[in-house]
């Protein structure tokens, strides 16, 4: 069963039989409703890193999201000695 919905709630029985007999077991399914929410980052990720010059580095960002997330990596930069533009938004380079 994929993409359970509230109407899928109920009892489901598995019946297995062969020439020697029959067994059955009933399972109960409950489908909880919840409100969609903003994305959640996995605890501890991404983690701060320190590397030696010339080393490779990877950041991992694991996200839990109800909708397809759009993930961007931004590097904060300075322009003319300032980290923020006239409108108060930070200066950034979009990496990915």
What does the pLDDT look like over 57-78, one tens digit per residue?
988 888 988 888 898 999 999 9
**Tokens coding 44:** 């501890």
CB 24 within 8 A of CB 13: yes
Q: What's the number of CA atoms in the CB half-sphere (13 Å) around residue 6? A: 3
Q: What is the pTM of this model?
A: 0.52
| Residue 96 confidence (pLDDT) | 75
């Amino acid at each position: 069963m994929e993409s359970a919905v509230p109407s899928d709630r109920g009892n489901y029985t598995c019946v297995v039989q062969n020439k020697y007999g029959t067994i059955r077991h009933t399972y109960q399914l409950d489908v909880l409703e919840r409100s969609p929410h903003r994305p959640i980052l996995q605890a501890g990720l991404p983690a701060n890193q320190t590397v030696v010059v010339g080393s490779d580095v990877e950041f991992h960002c694991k996200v839990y999201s109800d909708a397809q997330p759009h993930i961007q990596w931004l590097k904060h930069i300075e322009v003319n000695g300032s980290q923020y533009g006239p409108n108060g938004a930070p200066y950034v380079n979009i990496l990915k």
